[in-house]
Amino acid sequence: MPALARCALLCLIPSVALMAADNDAPPASMTEYWSPVPSIVEAKPGQAPSDAIVLFDGSSLDTWELASAESGPAPWDIVGDAMVVPPHAEPKVGRDIRTKQKFGDVQLHIEWRSPAKIVGHGQGRGNSGIFFMDRYEVQILDNHDNPTYVNGQVGSIYKQQPPC
């Protein structure tokens, strides 16, 4: 048998084997499901996506509470359209707040401002964070022209994973 014919015959054998395996597979309809149909998410410029839960709209802290054993309303101030930790808040008592609503999987979108007056350096400069499941902190830090360890920079999972 000429070499070209042998090559063609050998190339056909795997195709035949694949076709036989496909005949044993269940019909495609047995592996497809059609509901629930995901909703369409609209996103207009300058607005939150249509499926977003807005936790702060610049005017109210109603969705927030004090994150301590005593609980109670969030003691932060609203200055302009921003949430601000009051300068008189006691560390770990009046500074930490949490959402009233509990969440599982999330897609997080945050906006924050660095301080107008730059004071401090490293982790002592505009430092905050968002905690998930009372365990993981997404770091918020003014680290522009402010060297610090990479797993403590803004966007990191604090001391676990540098920002991507």
The predicted model scores a pTM of 0.64
The pLDDT tens digits for 9-48 are 444 445 444 555 556 778 888 888 888 888 899 989 988 8
Percent of the residues in the chain that have a pLDDT greater than 90, as a whole number? 23
Would you tell me how many other CB atoms lie within 10 Å of the CB of residue 75?
A: 19
